[in-house]
Structure 1
Amino acid sequence: MSERMSVIQGDITRVEVDVIVNAANSSLMGGGGVDGAIHRAAGPAILEACKVIVRQQGECAPGHAVITEAGNIPVKAVIHAVGPVWQGGEKHEAQLLEQTYRNCLDLAAANGYRTIAFPAISTGAYGYPKDEAAKIAIDTVYRYIGLRPLPEQVIFVCFDDENTQIYQQLLAQL
């Protein structure tokens, strides 16, 4: 299964995959970090799609994910995932983060997407410890793809050296 997962360092909006995951906030209206970068790269279409979702169902709770068009990003879709804010680990953050990754994988598989790229969800402004978040991400994806044919390939796209090294070390242990 580990051959179905890889890590790269770079810009998630430039990765050649079917679908990318946005580490979104509950409002889905864009923000900083990965979220801001995806909204800037996608252009106004993605914000309009997010507004429609919020009008239909309200804000997106931590652990949940929704899918939209990709605007100007050359992928088939963007999955907007809301990870938990780190509160010391006593507020079910680990379970919520695992649920976030599973919901993204479910959306990708349900739409027939073969390849997906994830950022390090919740590790930026949400303050989740990078090593713990990476372990949850890799363990969750590894278990998921071990039981299902889709997605065929999962790429973890890290923005910084620290996350890249953490993911590389964890993947090497599989």
Structure 2
Amino acid sequence: MAIMKKNSLKNASIQFKVFLILSVLYAVLIFYFSSISSSDAESISGFLDIEFIRNIFRYLSSSDFNFLLSPFYIFYKQPDKLVHLILYAGFGILLCYTLKNSPNSTLHKHALLFAIIIGTVYGASDEFHQSFVPGRTASLWDLAADSTGVIMAQAVIFIKDKFCIRNRIFSISTK
């Protein structure tokens, strides 16, 4: 039994280090994207087909499903907010799994909360950094999109964890 516990602690330590490295690399990638001037950033964000999103929005707004569009109207008007939300959702996932594998019991126990705090503070520092980049500005709306991405990631992880725990308990009790 002691050997199994030692192996699981070793695996947790390895997982923590892997997630920590991935989180730091992801933060560096965000910093790199934020360091690019606005004209270069527009060409890089080409991976998100803005016109495709606008066409979907136009189609849905002319159909009976237009009520679904209200929460997403900001992405139609300011599609860069969707990029912020997606980037920071990925960052939030990595932060959460880093903290869940942390040897620090407080960080482990409250990983979702600390991931939101760290992700939001990083988003704020990133917006401050952008104020020094030529052609870029700091924006509270960008920070709101960053924070929303991190919070949405934590919500998805929370729901996934609750369903996994509930399914495990259900499968154990039915055996």
Q: Same fold (TM over 0.5)?
A: no
Larger radius of gyration: 2
**Normalized per residue, which structure has more strand?**
1
Q: TM-score, normalised by structure 2?
A: 0.29
